[in-house]
Amino acid sequence: MKKLLIILVTLLCSFSAIAQDYKTHKVKEGETIEQIAKQYLVTPFDIFALNPDAKKELKSDMILIIPTSGVKNDEILEDKKELIGYKTHKVKRKETLFSISQKYAVEIEDIKKHNTNLYSENLRKGDKLKIPRFKTIVNKVSLNNTIKKYKVQPKEGKWRVAYKFGITVPELEALNPNINEVLQPGDELNVPNISNNEEKAVDDEFNYYTVLKSEGYMALNRKLGVTQDQLETLNPELKEGGLKLGMVLKVPGNIKTTNVVIDVANTNLSSNLKNLSPKRIALMLPFGLNKVDVDSVQEAKKMMRTNGLLSVSLDFHTGVLMALDSAKQLGISTNLKVIDTKNQIAEISKILEANDFSEYDAVIGPLMPTSLERVASKLKRDNVPVISPLTMPTNLYDNVFQTIPSDDLLEQAIIKYVKKDSLPKHIVIISDSKHKAISDRLKSEFPLAKQIQSRKNKKGQEAYFMYQTDLENVFQTGTNIVFLETDNEGLASNVISMINGFNMNDKEIILMTTNKNKAFDGKEISNYHLSNLKFHYPSVNKTIAVESRNSFVTKYMNEYNVSPNKYAVRGFDLTLDLLLRLASEDDLYKASSSDIETEYIENKFRYSKKMFGGYYNEAVYIVKYDDLTIVEAKL
């Protein structure tokens, strides 16, 4: 009996608390949680916390418990106007409501309220108006709602604000339906009304990771190498609520959270075009036409042969024009402004001074990092996307799109490719002393691998060669993968020739590298050996076979009487992707989430946002030599 009494008292106390601190809401047909939350000035997760069933299904006539008080704000001062009389004003020639409101320091609406004829009649000379006079009363007001306004600070993005107030990124977006994709300092957001000492600070000694769809602790352990216990120690809230989509997690500082290679299904953007307004694009290329003698055909041709930047610019430009034509067939029109930067910083400054780019949808280029840096930093204040088409940007500002995957991503891609193949294999890592660091990283990824260093001379200096005896008894029966890490053509030729000799019958040797540089294209390197060794490497692009005669190649050859090179194809792929993204969303930022991967002729694009910067392309190919041709490698 005593036990029942305790339970009864507890229940009565609970109902008393609900009556005092909560109210109820009967759900109407068609209502959403967001609408109900907005009505009561609370957050959706406040309602879900008290009504877990509503998360599964929100039904008509369902009774929801709605919180009416959260952590209260301190008392604030609120100005209130009190009418104390009128002043008469006779309207003079050329006077307007605006000039009169300025003269008496009152709102135009206040003048209209006390002169109601102005709602239907125009102001005329000679009219006599009653100008209200107010006195200001300062009241102390205490707010009791569970959301408050927050002003975005410099360098804060969505994840920082969400982490600061202990919510997920989707919850922050639900509280702010019109939130910008890229936050600007001074933006005002709705956030949970927690006290200042409850706000979480971002500690630069740690990294931070945003949980993706369907990610659990095992997936995070595979991706980041961090255990559930470690995550719960750094993020105590996980013990109660578990992982949620969009939750921002604190992770150890030595864990990379940006360059994580993931597989995403290709997206066909052309099937979801909803923003078909004309696109304004600027294309900045270093033609250097001021140095070309347009009156001499021979001189112009010579410049095209000898001036590398001019040649690249012209090829890229032809690809851009063909992309514009393809986009036009889909209903996307483009206003393209082509600008010659002359590859001079001084010229860039002139261009920026003479042109207003604030209304442009995007700027492609300039090609050179220093020039792109100048343009990006200038256009950052107007939030205009700047696309780096062929080089790595010096600084990845919030408005910069790095379209070339980084060396780190290329390295991770080939490692992931090897790990994905579950068949037994023996791994050998060969490198020179200059590439010892990558050799060690590969060893940490493949602990059973054998590491071999190139020979040194009598003075202990790198000699860039190996003896055949160094490789005897190294390869085993079955599949052997050899990572060759060097940028020295002599060592590359030496090793490739030798391991080709070991590639026989019961011992299959597959050559790989994390970085295919000029050493592998040297005159002493045999393409027959590379093909025999099925040479694999990560690449920004794949190579199309001209004989494939796809529509792009056919059209290009008909137009220009030559096959398109990689710069022309790059210009086409990048520009078509840009236009399709712009046509599928309100702006490029919204169309560049990491779950969208696109692929065209030779290039693919999947953008991720850097935690403290802009967007980088993380879509990488693995290609291989196959019967003297280079093809995409697929498991």
Give the C-alpha separation, 106 to 31, whole Å: 40
Mean pLDDT, to the nearest integer, of 385-391? Answer: 96
The pLDDT of residue 304 is 56
Mean pLDDT, to the nearest integer, of 563-571? Answer: 93
Mean pLDDT, to the nearest integer, of 545-567? Answer: 80
Does residue 234 register a pLDDT over 60? yes
Does residue 1 register a pLDDT over 60? no
The pLDDT of residue 157 is 79
Amino acid at 49: A
Of residues 520, 542, 540, the one with CA closest to residue 531? 520
Contact at 8 Å (CB) between 300 and 290? no
Mean pLDDT, to the nearest integer, of 253-272? Answer: 66
The pLDDT of residue 509 is 95
The pLDDT of residue 545 is 61
Paired residues of 538 in beta bridges? 622
The pLDDT of residue 254 is 75
pLDDT digits (tens, 9 = 90+) for 571-590: 999 999 999 999 999 999 99
The pLDDT of residue 548 is 56
Sign of CA pseudo-dihedral 528, 534, 535, 540? positive
Contact at 8 Å (CB) between 538 and 632? no
Does residue 5 register a pLDDT over 50? no
pLDDT digits (tens, 9 = 90+) for 457-505: 888 899 999 998 999 889 999 999 999 999 999 999 999 999 999 988 7
DSSP label at residue 544: P
pTM (2 decimals)? 0.60
3-state secondary structure 152-193: CCCCCCHHHHHHHCCCCHHHHHHHCCCCCCCCCCCCEEEEEC
504 to each of 436, 475, 478, 479, 534, how far by Cα in Å?
A: 29, 11, 10, 11, 13
The pLDDT of residue 447 is 92
Is the fold of 76-141 the same as that of 269-405+547-626? no
CB atoms within 10 A of CB 179: 17
The pLDDT of residue 411 is 94
Give the C-alpha separation, 517 to 488, whole Å: 9
Q: What is the CA radius of gyration of the chain?
A: 33
Burial readout 8-24 (b: 16 or more C-beta within 10 A, e: otherwise): eeeeeeeeeeeeeeeee
The pLDDT of residue 6 is 38
Does residue 19 register a pLDDT over 50? no
Look at strands 478-485 and 507-512 and give their pairing. Answer: parallel
Give the C-alpha separation, 334 to 324, whole Å: 7
Tokens 């005002």 belong to 188
CATH topology assigned to domain 22-68: Membrane-bound Lytic Murein Transglycosylase D; Chain A (3.10.350)
DSSP label at residue 552: H
Q: What is the mean pLDDT of the chain?
A: 83
Amino acid at 480: N
The pLDDT of residue 301 is 55
Give the C-alpha separation, 497 to 487, whole Å: 16
Give the C-alpha separation, 312 to 345, whole Å: 19
pLDDT digits (tens, 9 = 90+) for 587-635: 999 999 888 899 999 999 999 988 778 999 999 999 999 888 889 998 7
Helix (H) or strand (E) holding 85: strand 76-90
What whole-number percentage of the chain has pLDDT above 90?
44
Domain ranges of the chain: 22-68, 76-141, 269-405+547-626, 408-539
Name every residue whose Cβ is closer than 8 Å to that of residue 427 and which is 6 or more positions away in sequence.
418, 442, 446, 448, 449, 450, 480, 481, 482, 483
Mean pLDDT, to the nearest integer, of 175-181? Answer: 76
3-17, 64-78, 349-363, 524-538: least confidently modelled range: 3-17
Contact at 8 Å (CB) between 572 and 322? yes
The pLDDT of residue 497 is 93
Question: What's the pLDDT band for 358 if we cut at 50, 70, 90?
Answer: very high
Q: Best-predicted range by mean pLDDT among 101-110, 184-193, 346-355?
A: 346-355
Give the C-alpha separation, 45 to 175, whole Å: 10
Give me the phi and psi of 191, to 5 degrees please. Answer: -140, 160
Mean pLDDT, to the nearest integer, of 330-351? Answer: 94
Which one has a higher pLDDT value, 347 or 55? 347
Name every residue whose Cβ is closer than 8 Å to that of residue 232 and which is 6 or more positions away in sequence.
238, 239
Does residue 320 register a pLDDT over 80? yes
Exposure of 208 by Cβ count < 10 A (0-12 exposed, 13-18 middle, 19+ buried)? middle
190-199, 221-230, 297-306, 572-581: least confidently modelled range: 297-306
Give the C-alpha separation, 554 to 570, whole Å: 16
Mean pLDDT, to the nearest integer, of 1-11? Answer: 39
pLDDT digits (tens, 9 = 90+) for 138-152: 555 444 456 788 888
Amino acid at 373: E
Q: Is 404 helix (H, G, I), strand (E, B) or coil?
A: coil
Give the C-alpha separation, 214 to 316, whole Å: 40
CB atoms within 10 A of CB 343: 21
The pLDDT of residue 159 is 81
Does residue 359 register a pLDDT over 70? yes
Which one has a higher pLDDT value, 301 or 514? 514
- 76-141 under CATH 3.10.350.10, yes or no: yes
The pLDDT of residue 71 is 36
CB atoms within 10 A of CB 622: 21
Question: What's the pLDDT band for 7 if we cut at 50, 70, 90?
Answer: very low
The pLDDT of residue 459 is 87
Of residues 148, 199, 175, 166, the one with CA closest to residue 44? 175
Sign of CA pseudo-dihedral 533, 538, 540, 541? positive
What whole-number percentage of the chain has pLDDT above 70?
85
Q: What CATH number does domain 408-539 carry, 3.10.100, 3.40.50, 3.40.1350, 1.20.120? A: 3.40.50
pLDDT digits (tens, 9 = 90+) for 392-415: 999 999 999 999 999 999 999 999
Name every residue whose Cβ is closer than 8 Å to that of residue 260 and which is 6 or more positions away in sequence.
223, 224, 412, 618
The pLDDT of residue 14 is 40
User: What's the token pair of residue 465?
Assistant: 């060669």
The pLDDT of residue 10 is 38
The pLDDT of residue 4 is 38
The pLDDT of residue 559 is 87
Q: What CATH number does domain 269-405+547-626 carry, 3.90.550.10, 3.40.50.1000, 2.40.50.140, 3.40.50.2300? A: 3.40.50.2300
Sign of CA pseudo-dihedral 48, 50, 56, 60? negative
Of residues 455, 521, 448, 438, the one with CA closest to residue 481? 448
The pLDDT of residue 141 is 44
Which one has a higher pLDDT value, 549 or 504? 504
Does residue 536 register a pLDDT over 70? yes
Does residue 423 register a pLDDT over 90? no
Max alpha carbon distance in the chain (Å)? 109
